[in-house]
């Protein structure tokens, strides 16, 4: 049965609304102030709220704001019932998280119609949210792979949403040579995340066959081009790590420069030499962008553009220079990668994160 919460400190109003809604077949629960309303809402058994503004303890604005702050994905409409008539006060009803408002005393015909309309909207929104959650769970399950080889790696991934377009894949050939991919699909969220399993399957399946990394990169490029829409492509950097020989091969396809730090100082940045994967059926070259012989304590960093394109309130980018300075502090002090999130939060100064953030550190020793 559909449940409606009535929040009002006036007993007469509560009684009038309760009798009206009971006649319409709704289950009704009551709260005399905002604090009691939040307790009722925390119980989770509520489909719609009729909210008064002027109440003791917590007023309707404060109650709605706190409810929205603690609310999960499930959408519960809040309709304000108010005797306030000014445009400014009515606008506050919406600004604090309300969905609609009616003046007191409400016309029963209009109230019934508004409730019915908002319950229909909520039902649609919640069914879509449930479908999205199911899809996200499927995608996350598909992207989990026990073949991931974490040797020598530290990984930081901070997505905007439960699923995201950033990817980190790592596996070893039978001879111990490690392949690593850090990738960033177009956009973020569910649409980008859906593309991930295509790449994951190709990467791990062909690594198990001991195929050359340049062949795998070409296959990923062809798969994206052939099977995904034209607006979906993958910026990615690939490493082939042969620790026995001390060699590293780098393919950078439109990701920020692969950064090598030695003795706490920037040793080299290896910029992109290839276009994003999936733009054309064939890459312009299959040769690696760089081949390096590394020292024992070198550290290699790969990161998506979500960090360097973080913006301050003034619109300034965090940029690769700041990123390099941060990475230089990691090596000698063994600082956790999570410290980057603090750096970025301080740089944003209250501005929200706008893209997925991924950083991978490769310890060579």
| CATH 3.60.40.10 domain position(s) in the chain | 145-363
Q: Which CATH number fits domain 3-137: 3.30.70.1140, 3.90.170.10, 3.40.50.2300, 3.20.190.10?
A: 3.40.50.2300
Q: Are the C-beta atoms of 136 and 160 separated by less than 8 Å?
A: no
pLDDT value, residue 142: 47
Taking only Cα atoms into account, the Rg of the chain, rounded to an integer number of angstroms, comes to: 27
| CATH 3.40.50.2300 domain position(s) in the chain | 3-137
Distance CA 174, CA 284 (A): 29
pLDDT value, residue 164: 65
Q: Sheet harboring 299-303: ordered strands across?
A: 153-158, 357-363, 299-303, 258-262, 265-270
The domain 145-363 having CATH identifier 3.40.50.1820: the answer here is no
How many CA within 13 A on the CB side of residue 266? 14
pLDDT value, residue 195: 75
Integer CA distances (angstroms), 179 to 39, 172, 361, in order? 52, 6, 14
Q: Are the C-beta atoms of 240 and 290 separated by less than 8 Å?
A: no
pLDDT one digit per residue (tens) for the chain, 365 residues: 899 999 999 899 999 999 999 999 999 999 999 999 998 888 878 999 999 988 888 888 999 999 988 876 788 999 998 877 677 777 888 888 899 988 888 889 999 999 999 999 988 888 876 765 655 555 455 455 567 888 899 988 887 665 567 888 999 999 999 999 999 988 655 666 677 788 888 999 999 999 999 999 999 999 999 988 888 889 999 999 999 999 999 999 999 999 999 988 999 999 999 999 999 999 887 567 899 999 888 999 999 998 999 999 899 999 999 999 999 988 666 778 889 989 999 999 888 888 888 899 999 76
């Amino acid at each position: 049965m559909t449940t409606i919460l009535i929040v009002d400190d006036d007993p007469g109003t509560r009684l009038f609304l309760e009798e009206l809604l009971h006649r319409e077949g709704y289950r009704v629960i009551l709260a005399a102030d905002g604090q009691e309303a939040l307790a009722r809402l925390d119980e989770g058994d509520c489909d719609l709220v009729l909210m008064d503004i002027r109440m003791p303890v917590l007023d309707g604005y404060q109650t709605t704001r706190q409810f929205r702050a603690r609310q999960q994905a499930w959408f519960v409409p809040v309709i304000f019932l108010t005797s306030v008539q000014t445009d400014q006060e009515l606008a506050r009803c919406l600004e604090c998280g309300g969905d609609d408002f009616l003046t007191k005393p409400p016309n029963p015909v209009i109230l019934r119609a508004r409730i019915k309309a908002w319950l229909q909207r909520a039902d649609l929104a919640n069914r879509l949210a449930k479908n999205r959650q199911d899809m996200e769970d499927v995608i996350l399950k598909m992207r989990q792979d026990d073949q991931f080889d974490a040797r020598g790696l530290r990984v930081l991934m901070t997505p905007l949403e439960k699923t995201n377009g950033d990817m980190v894949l790592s596996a070893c050939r039978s001879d111990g040579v490690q392949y690593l991919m850090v990738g960033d699909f177009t956009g973020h969220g569910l649409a980008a995340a859906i593309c991930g399993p295509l790449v994951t399957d190709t990467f791990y399946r062909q690594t198990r066959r001991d195929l050359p990394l340049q062949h795998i990169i070409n296959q990923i490029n062809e798969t994206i081009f052939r099977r995904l829409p034209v607006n979906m492509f993958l910026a990615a950097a690939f490493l082939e790590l042969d620790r026995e020989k001390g060699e590293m091969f780098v393919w950078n396809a439109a990701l920020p420069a692969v950064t090598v730090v030695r003795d706490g100082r920037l040793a080299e940045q290896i910029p992109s030499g290839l276009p994003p994967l999936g733009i054309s059926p064939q890459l312009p070259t299959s040769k690696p962008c760089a081949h390096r012989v590394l020292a024992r304590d070198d550290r290699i960093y790969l990161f998506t553009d979500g960090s360097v394109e973080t913006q301050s309130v003034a619109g300034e980018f965090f940029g690769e220079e700041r990123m390099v300075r941060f990475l230089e502090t990691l090596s000698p002090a063994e600082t956790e990668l999570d410290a980057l999130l603090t750096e970025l939060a301080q740089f944003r100064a209250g501005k929200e994160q706008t893209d997925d953030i991924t950083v991978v550190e490769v310890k060579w020793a």
